[in-house]
Structure 1
Amino acid sequence: MKKHHGFTLIELLVVISIIGVLTTLILANLSDARGRARDSQKKSELTQLKTALRLYYNDHQQYPATADMPTSGTFSDPDGDAVYMKKLPTDFTYTQIDDDSFTLSATLENASDLDIPTSQTACGIGTTNPEFVVCSD
C-alpha cells in the first residue's frame, strides 16, 4: 500500500475557507477602527479650535460672527496681527450664538459614538442629528 504525502482537496478547501472568513472579520474591524480614529481626530480638532476661539475672544471681547469665521485655511485676526490657528479643521460648522457664546459641530462617522449625546447635553442642544458639539462653556 502506498502512503500519500500532502493534503486532500477537501482539507485545502476547508483551510482556504477558514482563512477567508478570518480575513473578512479582520478587515471589517480594521475599517471600524479607522473610522473611530478619524472621529477622534475630528473631536480633538474641534477642541483645539475652541481654544483658538477663546484666544480670539480674549483679544476682541467677543467671538467672531458666523459670517466672519473662515471655514478653511488659517484662522487669524482680521487685522493680521495674530494667528489663532494655522490650519482649520475641515467639515465643521461654527455658529455664533451671541457675543459671548458659540457652538462648533461636526458629523462623526460613527453615529452611535457615546460622546455625541454627551456633548449635545453639555451644550444644551437637543437634536437627533449625529453631530458632536463643542460649545463656549
Structure 2
Amino acid sequence: MNVKFNMKGVIYGMLFLALLIGGFIFIPNMFMDQSKPVDYTMVQREAIPEKILDIMDKYTDQERALAVKLDGKIYVVVTRGKDNDKGIEIEKIRTINEEDKIVMKVKAVYKDKKESYPYVVVETNLKELPHRIELETSISGN
C-alpha cells in the first residue's frame, strides 16, 4: 500500500486548528467585562475623619465621586449635588484597567430623602488611588 502525504493539507490543517483554539481563548476575553468589584464598608457619620469633612464643604453642592487617601486607607465620597428632594446611596464600586490606568466606576442611586443621605463616605480595600473616577447615577423606582 502506497500512501501519499499532502504537506499543504497538513499545514492548512494545523493553521486552522491553531486559529480555532486561539479563537476559543481570546475572542471571549474581548467581549467580557474586565472590571473587578471593590469591597467597601460604610463609614458611620460619627467616624468620618475630620479631614474628609473639611473637604466635603467644597463639594456638597456638586454631584461628584471623590477618592481620598488618608492614613493608608482609600475612602470614596459621593455627594448628591443640589437635589434636596433626594438622598444618595452607593450601589456598587468597581475598577477597570484602561490603557494601564485604573479607572474607578461608582454606581450610585438617588433614593427617597428619608431612606438615604446627602453624601456617603465608604472605606475601600484598595491600596492606591485610581487615576480617574466615573460616577454613574440612576433614580430608584421607589
State TM-score, norm by structure 1: 0.40
Larger RCO, structure (CA 8 Å, separation 6 or more): 2
More helix per residue: 1
More strand per residue: 2
